Amino acid sequence: MKLHILGCYAATPRTLSNPTAQILEIRNHLFLIDCGEGTQVELRRNKVKFSRINHIFISHLHGDHFFGLPGLISTFRLLGREKELHIYGPKGIKEAITLLFKLADSWTSYPLIFHELDSKEPLLLFQDAGVEVSTIPLAHRIYTNGFRFTSFYSERKLNIDAVREFGIGKEYFQKIKNGGSVTLEDGRVIPNQELTLDPPEPKHYAYCSDTAYYPDIIPLIRGVDVLYHEATFLESEAGLAKKTKHSTAGEAATIARDAEVGQLILGHFSTRYRNPDSFLEEAQRIFPNTLLAADGKLFEF
Question: In this predicted model, what pLDDT tens digit does every residue of 192-218 receive, in sequence order?
Answer: 999 999 888 899 999 999 999 999 999
Report the pLDDT value the prediction gives residue 129, as an integer from 0 to 100: 87
The response to whether 225 counts as a known ligand-binding position is no
Whether 39 and 20 have beta carbons less than 8 Å apart is answered as no
pLDDT digits (tens, 9 = 90+) for 107-137: 999 999 999 999 999 999 999 989 999 999 9
What's the angle, vertex CA 131, arms to CA 125 and CA 134, rounded to 5? 30
**Average pLDDT for 167-183:** 91
Q: What is the pLDDT of residue 179?
A: 87
Cβ count near 285 (within 10 Å): 12
158-170 average pLDDT score: 92
The mean pLDDT of 22-30, rounded to a whole number, is 96
Q: Is 198 a catalytic residue?
A: no
Query: Is 149 a residue whose pLDDT tops 80?
Result: yes
Residues in the chain: 301
Beta carbons within 8 Å of 283's beta carbon, 6+ residues apart: 231, 249, 250, 252, 253, 256, 264, 266, 290
Domains in the chain and their CATH numbers? 2-153+200-300 (3.60.15.10), 157-197 (no CATH)
Is 295 assigned to a binding site? no
Q: What is the mean pLDDT of the chain?
A: 96
Cα distances (Å, whole numbers) of residue 80 to 69, 75, 76, 77, 280? 17, 9, 7, 5, 43
Tell me if 86 is assigned to a ligand binding site: no
Predicted local distance difference test score (pLDDT) of residue 81: 96
Question: What number of helices (H) and strands (E) belong to the chain?
Answer: 11, 18
Rounded distance between C-alpha atoms, residue 215 and residue 237, angstroms: 20
Average of pLDDT values for 22-43? Answer: 97
The catalytically annotated residue of 64, 128, 216, 295 is 64
Whether residue 65 is annotated as binding a ligand: the answer is: yes
pLDDT interval class at 52 (50, 70, 90) = very high
Dihedral angle sign, alpha carbons of residues 216, 247, 8, 141 = positive
* Annotated binding-site residue? 210: yes
pTM across the whole model: 0.90
pLDDT tens-digit map of 220-276: 999 999 999 999 999 999 999 999 999 999 999 999 999 999 999 999 999 999 889
Q: Given pLDDT bands bounded at 50, 70 and 90, which one contains residue 177?
A: confident
